[in-house]
Amino acid sequence: MRHYKKGRKLGTDASHTKAIKKNLAVALFTNDRIKTTVPRAKEVRGDIDRIITWAKKGDLHSRRLAIAALGDKELVREVFEKAEQGMWADRDGGYTRILKLGPRKGDNAPMAILELVEEAVVKKTKKAEKAEKAEKPAKKAEEVVEEAEEAEETVEAEEVKAEEATEEKAVEEEAAEAADKTAEEAAEEEAAETEEKAEEE
């Protein structure tokens, strides 16, 4: 039984898994972002958060714990200096970000980019949250009004098109009637001319 052995095995024995996690942590703090597999990124994320929490405390005991975890005094000094400068002062957790890249060519392992989050947290005040909640029904009402106006505009446009079509039909009918009248008048004139010629003969 694996009592007190929580965490992913990562396909290796205990000492190798420990070394992998340590090397990933060192590489991340050195380069600020690394490319690794998704299980390894998820597994080392807790260790990274723990080390940054120690750095934010800044006392001697936390520094010694970080040195034991990373094994590099200079790197630990850099991380503690960043924490003293306030890099993660407004963030209570979630110091890392995982960006999935897709499967790796060859063994089809899921790959990801693990990076440190350095952006400042924009905290919402209660007033802003209340304002957003109050704006939501107003936005919905505006959307409903806009949809109704669009529907009215479409109906009006259809009515205008129908009126134009009826007007066009009326014009066509008038033109046809005029053409019929002209044809009848021409036929009557021809008949009168033929009658006159017959009487002369």
What would the pLDDT profile of 68-113 be if each residue is shown by its tens digit? 999 999 999 999 999 999 888 888 888 999 999 999 999 999 999 9
User: CA-CA distance, 64 to 29, in Å (whole number)?
Assistant: 17
Domains belonging to the chain, first-starting first, are 14-116 (3.90.1030.10)
Please give the pLDDT value at position 126: 73
Provide mean pLDDT across the span 48-54.
95
User: For residue 171, how far is the Cα from the chain centroid?
Assistant: 54
Between the ranges 6-15, 64-73, 126-135, 173-182, where is the mean pLDDT highest? 64-73
Neighbours of 98 (CB within 10 A): 13
Please give the pLDDT value at position 199: 75
User: What type of residue sits at position 81?
Assistant: E
C-alpha distances (whole Å) from 118 to each of 6, 85, 96, 190 are 29, 12, 9, 99
Please give the pLDDT value at position 201: 64
CA angle at 73 for the pair 68 and 79, rounded to the nearest 5°:
95
C-alpha distances (whole Å) from 173 to each of 41, 153, 165, 167, 177 are 79, 30, 12, 10, 6
pTM: 0.59
Residues composing the chain: 201
Say which residues have a Cβ less than 8 Å from residue 197's Cβ, sequence separation at least 6: none
Q: Which two tokens stand for residue 166?
A: 């009826």
For the cut 90, the answer to whether the pLDDT of residue 50 exceeds it is yes
Provide mean pLDDT across the span 51-69.
95
Q: How confident is the model over 19-38, as pLDDT tens digits?
A: 999 999 999 999 999 999 99
User: For residue 91, how far is the Cα from the chain centroid?
Assistant: 24
Neighbours of 139 (CB within 10 A): 10
